[in-house]
A and B are shown apart, each in its own frame.
Chain A
Amino acid sequence: MKDVVGVIYTARDEFSMRELASNRSVSALPVAGRYRLVDFMLSNLVNSSIRKVGVMMQGNYHSLMDHLGSGKEWNLHTRNNGLYLLIPYRSGDEGYQGILDAFKDNMEFLRRSGQEYVLIVGGRLIYNTTYDELVDLHMETGADVSLMYTRFDPVNGEYSRFSDSVRAFINVDESRRVTDIEINPNVITCPNVLMDVVLIKRTLLMHMVDMAASHGYHDLYSTIIRNAVYDKTLKVVGLEFKGYCRRMETVNSFYNLNMDLLRPEIRHELFDINPVYTKTRNDAPAKYLPGSQVSSSLVADGCVIEGDVSGSVLFRGVRVSKGAKISGSIIMQDCFIGENVELENVILDKDVTVLSGARLIAPRRYPIVLGKNVTI
């Protein structure tokens, strides 16, 4: 067990995700057929032998609470430590203005955690790794703050400076020390983008939160860490992550992630390196009826398929009736697709019913999104 307490800062409801995140935190987004985004962060922490995890919630956190429960699925339902759901009792519906506000509201959690270090993990990214190397780097370099980053990929990076979220780009020297940091730049000059993973001594973090409160700071990167990098008052180091990593920022980033999962090498990176735990439902195996045609698709348990499905992701309990044709689409749990329905490049949220004969065809660059419980 590590002397580290994990904290997941769950993302807010996000305008640019349209209906997908209008009623749920981005961290609660269903992904990959049977998971929620937060499963990856929680599994990463648990796979790093971190046994105490706080999840800082905001906005509409109902679906997150429902999903996380006692933390049993992640083996976090322990007598000591385990899972802590940190409810935004002071910020109300508004959500936090930044991560430091969230820590200010949850100082008691920090104070009572006996661990020497805090690992802060942002809840809108997807990747599979352990944080072991980051902890080692922190100790070896004697750093005050250690960050994880990836090379910025201009094609898949989905960077928009109009997004609500803070994007921080950094430069790192040969000794791995962070030398420059840009926040939501117009023109990106630093080659690396932060993964919202920060390792820091718990007492130092508590000191920062106090300082933020008195200076009116809300966000960690654009204030305290940026100042520390420029003033060299703190030693800030970075660790590059070379694996598959995506950030859920827009509908397109969500769509592209799911389509990436149809490639074996991406599935390998996201699922085979360390196990990814999630809440289980007792669905029966997926059933393929005579006449079904399925290719290049990811299909979860509980589905019953009678029609054609290609290049798509089907979540649990989806029913595809006879004569229906689905391609390039993401169909979330318990959707019903009627006979002879045609869907191309469509994202259906949970419990959507598409009645017989309907046709929904969208360009791949702008998938149609149907919100929860809709019937068309």
Chain B
Amino acid sequence: MRNKQVVAMLLAGGQGSRLGLLTRVTAKPAVPFGGRYRIIDFPLSNCANSGIDTVGVLTQYQPLELNSYIGSGASWDLDLTDGGVFVLPPYVQGSEGRWYSGTADAIYQNLAFIDQYSPRYVLILSGDHIYKMDYSAMLDYHIRQQADITIAVRPVPWEEAPSFGIMNTKEDGRIFEFEEKPKKPKSNLASMGVYIFTYSQLKKYLVEDHADPNSHNDFGKNIIPTMLKDDKRLYAYSFNGYWKDVGTIHSLWEAHMDLLKNPPEVDLNDKRWPIYAKSPVMPPHFVGEKGKVENSLLTEGCQVYGQVSGSVLASGVIVEEGAVVRDSAIMPDCVIKSGAVVERAIIAEQCVIGENCRVGESEGDIALIGNGTNLKPFTIVKAGQQANEETLGGGETV
């Protein structure tokens, strides 16, 4: 196999339990986002646009939807004769087979995959952020600094710094200290979970980490602190663009609202940095005679006969006459029946919100309806409540 300068490894195996019902049957990177995308479209498109053509996607939790979404990788122009996108589930080696025990272990178990390409560098990504980033510029920086590992960081508001992994750097960007969720942060540079390793160093540290029975096999907890202790060359690469963690229901909702700003925080129509997605094979959306749409994003296959404002509707969503959708994100193939009001809510894929239901409230936390829920007419789902067919005891009926 031809050598590659860089191979990307995308960690997509996390359970994403903070997303509650959304990730009950879907791995977090496969969660729909922004009307026609899924979260994983962002790192994959970034790879394609950065000229990185070999990507391993490490999965283990609810992989079916993710696997079928990735398919041959053609949607991101990653179906190549040499390289491409590969789904890497845990597998049996020798007589042993086991799950990935941590982020570092996931990469360790796939060293054989990386070795096939003999790369000089390995880019490690996670599948839970919305951002557009040129990884090739970060790689140039890594090479220029002769770093062993470069960690992408971005400045966060000081008051939020205690909830992040913070990098303390010298003037030239070299990291001298890493603090996970410091009470008194010395810097506001938070790790984005994007790393570039010089492969020889990555391999050495992963092998050592694997041999240590006390390790959590985690990049943040083990690999990076150990490399710091060994006085390796760790550098911080500053990224100033839009970056949004969508690991919680609230932040996922906020990221949708960010798309509605004018101009949007992250431009999805930028021809020089397209975000690719699998096409749903549906006709353009239709707004009916009495439909009213304001300050919203609509995509192929939607049909709006009711009122939609401040919302993002994914493909195939139908809003019936007399239904109201306000400040919400509706995922693919949902039907909002007549008389229903959906407000400050996320509705997961393939739900039916019955006639005259009330989902969410104008204030308070975001309401969530889980995948495939058929909400009976007149059901009430309050702010902050999560509902699917099993939990529906929680929903009151008028």
The answer to whether B145 has its CB under 8 Å from any CB of chain A is no
Let me know if B287 and A285 touch, CB within 8 A: no
Segment from B90-98, B203-211, B296-304 that makes contact with A: B296-304
CB closest chain-A residue, reference B298: A286
Q: Most chain-B Cβ atoms within 10 A of its Cβ — which of A289, A290, A301? A: A301
Name the one of A264, A270, A297, A301 contacting B299, with C-beta atoms under 8 angstroms. A301
Chain A proximity of B172: nearest CB distance (Å): 38
Contact B293 A292 (CB under 8 A): yes
Q: How many residues of B contact A (CB 8 A)?
A: 35
Closest to B311 in A: A288
Query: Using Cβ atoms and an 8 Å threshold, which residues of chain B touch A286?
Result: 285, 297-299
Partner of A275, one of B281, B284, B299, B312: B281
- With CB as the reference atom, state the residue of chain B lying closest to A271: B283
Chain A residue with minimal CB distance to B267? A284
Cβ proximity bits B92-108 to A, threshold 8 Å, 1 near / 0 not: 00000000000000000
Give the docked Cα–Cα distance between A302 and B285 (Å). 12
In the bound complex, CA of A261 to CA of B295 (Å): 25
Q: Contact at A285–B288, with CB atoms within 8 Å?
A: no
Q: List the A side residues contacting B292 at CB < 8 Å.
A: 293, 295
Q: Which residue from B34, B284, B298 sits with its C-beta under 8 Å from A33? A: B284
Q: Which residues of B contact A111 (CB under 8 A)?
A: none
A234 to chain B, nearest CB (A): 39
B274 at the interface (CB under 8 A from A): yes
- Residue of A34, A262, A288 near B298 (CB, 8 A) is A288
> How far is B297's CA from A289's CA once the two chains are assembled, in angstroms?
9
Q: Give the interface residue-count category, chain A.
A: 35 or more
B287 touches A295 (CB 8 A): yes
Determine if A55 is an interface residue (Cβ-Cβ < 8 Å). Answer: no
Q: Establish whether residues A301 and B295, one from each chain, have CB atoms under 8 Å apart when the complex forms.
A: no
* B279 in contact (CB, < 8 A): yes
Please, what's the 1-or-0 string for A26-44, where 1 marks a CB less than 8 Å from any CB in chain B? 0000001110000000000
Which chain B residues border A285 with CB–CB below 8 Å? 34-36, 268, 297-299, 312-313
Q: For residue B277, which residue of chain A has the nearest CB?
A: A282
Q: CA of A288 to CA of B287 in the docked complex: distance in angstroms?
A: 12
Give chain B interface residues in 261-294, CB to chain A under 8 Å.
Answer: 262, 268-269, 274-277, 279, 281-294
Contact (Cβ within 8 A) A277 B283:
no
Cα distance A261–B299 when bound, in Å?
Answer: 17
Return B306 CB to nearest CB of chain A, in Å: 12
C-alpha spacing A158/B262, complex, angstroms:
45
Most buried by B among A267, A294, A302, A315: A294
Please state if B289 and A296 are interface contacts (CB–CB under 8 Å): yes
CB-CB under 8 A from A72, the residues of chain B are 74
B293 touches A294 (CB 8 A): yes
Nearest-neighbour CB distance to chain A for B72, whole angstroms, equals 10
* Complex contact A297–B287 (CB within 8 A): yes
Selected contact of A288 from candidates B34, B269, B296, CB within 8 Å:
B296
Given A282-B275, A288-B293, A288-B295; A276-B281 close (CB under 8 Å)? yes
| A214 → B minimal CB distance (Å) | 46
Residues A288 and B291 in contact, CB atoms below 8 Å apart: no
Assess whether B288 is in contact with A295, with CB atoms less than 8 Å apart: yes
Question: What would 5 more interface pairs be, CB under 8 Å, given A276-B283, A289-B295?
Answer: A282-B277, A291-B294, A294-B287, A299-B287, A301-B284
**Residue ranges of A at the interface with B (Cβ–Cβ < 8 Å):** 32-34, 72, 261-262, 264, 267, 270-271, 275-277, 280, 282-302, 304, 313-315, 317
Q: List 6 A-B contacts (CB under 8 A).
A: A34-B300, A261-B283, A275-B281, A282-B274, A285-B299, A287-B296
Residues of B within 8 A of A (CB): 34-36, 74, 262, 268-269, 274-277, 279, 281-300, 303, 312-313
Ranked nearest first, the 7 interchain pairs of A and B with the lowest CB-CB distance are A284-B268, A33-B284, A285-B35, A285-B299, A300-B284, A285-B297, A280-B279
